[in-house]
Structure 1
Amino acid sequence: QRCYRDGVLNAELPAAELVPGDLVEVNVGDKVPADLRILRLKTTSVRTDEGALTGESETVLKQTEPVKEESRIQDKKNMMFAGTTLSGGGAYGLIVATGMSTEIGKIQANVTAAKEDDEKTPLGQKIDAFGEMLAKVIAYICLAVWVMNFRQFSDPVHGGFWMGLIYYLKIAVALGVAAIPEGLPAVITLCLALGTRKMVKRNAIVRKLPSVETLGCTTVICSDKTGTLTTNQMTVVAMAYPGTKADGLVEHTVTGTSYEPWGEVESLAELGPGVLDLAKVCSLSNQAVIQYKEGKFTRIGEPTEAALKVLVEKMGNPNVSKPSKDQPELACSAVNDHFAKEYPRNAILEFSRDRKSMSTLCGYKPAAKTSTGRTTRGSVGSGSNQLFVKGAPESVLERCTQVRLASGETVPLTPAQRKKILDFNAKMAARPLRCLAMAIREDVEDLATYDGPNHPAHKKLTDPDKFAELEKDLVFVGICGIKDPARPEVAPAIADCKTAGIRVIMITGDTRPTAEAIAREIGIFGPKESITGRSFTGHEFFEFPTEKQVEMLTKNRLSMVFSRTEPADKQQLVKILRQAGEVPAMTGDGVNDAPALKQAAIGIAMGIAGTEVAKEASDMVLADDNFATIVAAVEEGRSIYSNMKAFIRYLISSNIGEVASIFITALLGLPEGLIPVQLLWVNLVTDGPPATALGFNPADPDVM
């Protein structure tokens, strides 16, 4: 780690040796070594991926300006946190916390604290309570039998007082043996072990045996949003472009929920010149890369830019043959590679908060020397640079003077038309979608032949404050709507939960509008259902008194949503539910979910996308990251719980008969019917196998 300490640069100081007060340099791709306060940006913009810490699906734009002292983690834009990754830019920062004092260290402390609150499973608690009651009853019965037969101690049959005392003591012991179902622990363990095998077949890997039974008692499923209910892969779900007039935007739905390029743009019959320009900007004003590695599609770079690259592949290109599904390595980059070759990138105008846009200068191919030593103009593209711009619609449209229609015709943009396009964008943003406007500047004047730092016009690209002056007289080509989409299997699974009487509570670090929109999409809330008193931010909810918090969580048996929560908030919500008598399951995949996973009656981690920290804190791991697997596991857990109750009843009823026979014979003064060894044989050998067989009963049809 590049570190400045006492004014001296140490270029390779191990991160473990950093201390508060050190000045460090971090660059794109680096993992932040400690919590640090940003002092100066090296680039015009710096973004970090804090998804594992906060649950936010989008990267966070950093700044140097101060924030309020009471700000929550998500609002501390002037801080970088240990364990997060720089997805763009570079900065200098002052280390303010290391080790267990960092935000991620506090999470570890909360996980440790949650371990101390471990409780037995619901059935375990009931068996303990029953065992205590049984012990007391048997103690009284044994004492009663012994006292009732006090006069028989001196009976000559026993050979004296002390021999009679011992004889009736043996009967008392026999009563104790008869009352205790010695085979129960073995049968329960065997039943749970067989249950784990069934769960593995349903892609649920149980790490702790009692969790199988806990699943059957679950009353609430608390779930993280990002990566659990959603894919955590930003995806373009809608695109719009001017059709036959400047303000007549034509919108298309885009299918797909991940970085896989297999979806399509619905109802897009052909790529007109205007639509092709939209694809160009999405591809060229972009620094992300989509790769196919180890059987899955992954991104390098910004999630939103990766989503645009995937859209380009789904749109296709008339000059590029569409790769088949047998060619995933080619399918994820074929069209983008074509645009990159046709329009070589010569400069990048980085994103800045002031102009809320970024652009690339592409198109001019530097002259190449022939075999005779003469130079020729490259034939790729138009032979001159164009500026491809993307950014916030309100900012980009303000600098647009023209509009590119689908036919390729360019028409002027009036203020009234601009307002109508912004109104269209506002409706897309309300879904909510993250909207980006795309535009082109075709005449870039003396930058038309720019090919590097030696070009006469290079000074125009050295001052980021003047980039807005270059991004003017733009031609608007379209808008893309991006979001972290819900997993396709989640909505039916949540409907099954409602049928089973299990409510689902979403707990996320993301924004309130995003959380509520996803909640409606997957069925936590109905499309038109009132959510008054059912959706809160973490800060808002924890300002209420404790009694009010408990009341709001338990008074109505309805699903709820909590947004902008910190890791400690998730843990506290689960703790309140447990204290209120609920049996909460917690699902999550990030480091920020670990305390809540450990606090819950059963913690469920994602096996593919989940972090190792989350898996270690969990009781069960989903091998396929499928929320529907939880519902299947609950169904299996209920079946096992039902079977366990059946064989416990069977064993207890057998023991009651044994106790009755011993007690009555003692009461009547008859010789003991069964000696302790015989009772053990009945309890362990005769009753064990039939009880085990009850554990194999199929689930009832109405178990859910």
Structure 2
Amino acid sequence: MGNLKTCSHEWSKLETRIATLEFDRDRKSVGVIVSSKSGRNSLLVKGAVENLLERSSHMQLLDGSVVALDNKAKTVILNSLNELSSSALRVLGFAFKEDPPEFTTYNGDEDHPAHNLLLDPANYSKFESNLVFAGLAGLRDPPRKEVRQAIEDLPSSWKTGDNKNTAEAICREIGVFGQHEDISSRSLTGREFMEHHDQKGHLAYKGGLLFSRAEPRHKQEIVRLLKDLGEVVAMTGDRVNDAPALKLADIGIAMGIAGTEVAKEASDMVLADDNFSTIVAAVGEGRSIYNNMKAFIRYVISSNIGEVASIFLTAAIGIPEGLIPVQLLWVNLVTDGPPATALGFNPPDKYIMKKAPRRSDDSLISAWILFCYLVIGLYVGIATVGVFVIWYTHDSFFGIDLSRDGHTLVTYSQLANWGQCKTWENFTVSPFKAGDRMFNFDLNPCDYFQVGKVKAMTLSLSVLVAIEMFYSLNALSEDESLLTMPPWVNPWLLIAMSVSFGLHFLILYVPFLAQVFRIVPLSFNEWLLVLAVALPVILIDEILKFIGRLTSGSQSGPRPSKRKTE
């Protein structure tokens, strides 16, 4: 770097720049008019090698002599260009013209006739003609270390302003394409793409695409077509000519360090560090936030469907009310609150960046997700009502003894028709103990289905709380198994579950609160029954997730996104 500065300083002593022919996309070059100490003016040009060759009539040899530029020499130069660009080098060509006729006496004076000519960029091509080609140079701009991993995390469609060979070599180097992969159909210049017979079909290709030598109108057209295909399009850029596409994209991303003010103004986001991996991290964070929002919705909706289902089933089959309003309010407002809140701290799914991006018209809740909500909600309702029925009709369940409190068993028919109890002959109920209370129904056996349901109601409430706590574990991910995303990945959820269970134990074992909520403490065997009825919700949701993965191919066949980056 020190030698370059010294060289530039020494050169500025010999030559003075008096005018600049700004870069444009048609010429793909920039020129400067310099005046030497001897008073001679020269035009120095740098730009794309192919374009400079088209406008050069001579070439300068190593010894400084100038000879005519024939087709053989052009072929040699182009071969060198291909060799350098295939090695992932950005190649610049250099040419000059001594004593350009329009600027022979020009010294930067605004009154000089040449000054008016410089104000019109349409004249630049004419000035940069009959040049002497001086040579070419390959510039190494190595990708940052984090780019390869970012590309692996975010398969995408690429667009670059580089020479086609350079662009392909860079894409192979950073992992967009394999080293020996045939990409003849996946790498196009902007002009080739505009002439393609099926532009939308090509953009819908399920894999990475490369666009090189893309002009502003080409970039705009690519963004427009992708939006027509329903894609959510991100466009990154840093130059003035990127502004139209940045403005048209769903989200334009400009470079904060190297970006022009025009590009920044046209963009929705500005990268402070000009680091592509920052975009990947932002996409991952956005997907994670969206998934956590869905996890919250999934948990709350399924739980509420379950509570509604339990009330509906109770009325449908005619059994006594298993949950009273104060209990449902407690579950909704207090017990469900901590897990629902903790789901907002879920870490990103393991395969979050491998999944196909959402389309702009994708719904928040798909038909399959709604079906899953209904299945889980229905099981919650069945389990809550079922444990109520089990206590009244069975003295054991899967080997769990439920007869220790001495309660009287009834048939399901009697339970479903409990309102007709007074018409039954010889119906008697034995006294039983629930917590510290002794229940005796000698005076009115039919009270067994109202006053005596306190234990069955406690079991229903406990099952509802437990099943919703276990279901919150499944809400860690919409489609990943608990085997790949275990509960401890979100310690806040485990804490929230502990808080919810703690609150439930509080109202169970504090006499005053138990009286308010009309519940009684449960025995060890009764807690085993609660777990036996509640735990299957995990298995049911695991089966639903497995079916969802098979049908969507969410982990095995992701659809690459069609994002573009400059």
TM-score, with structure 2 as normaliser: 0.42
Higher RCO (CA 8 Å, separation ≥ 6 residues): 1
Q: Is the helix fraction higher in 1 or 2?
A: 2
Which structure shows the bigger proportion of residues in strand conformation? 1
TM-score normalised to the size of structure 1? 0.35
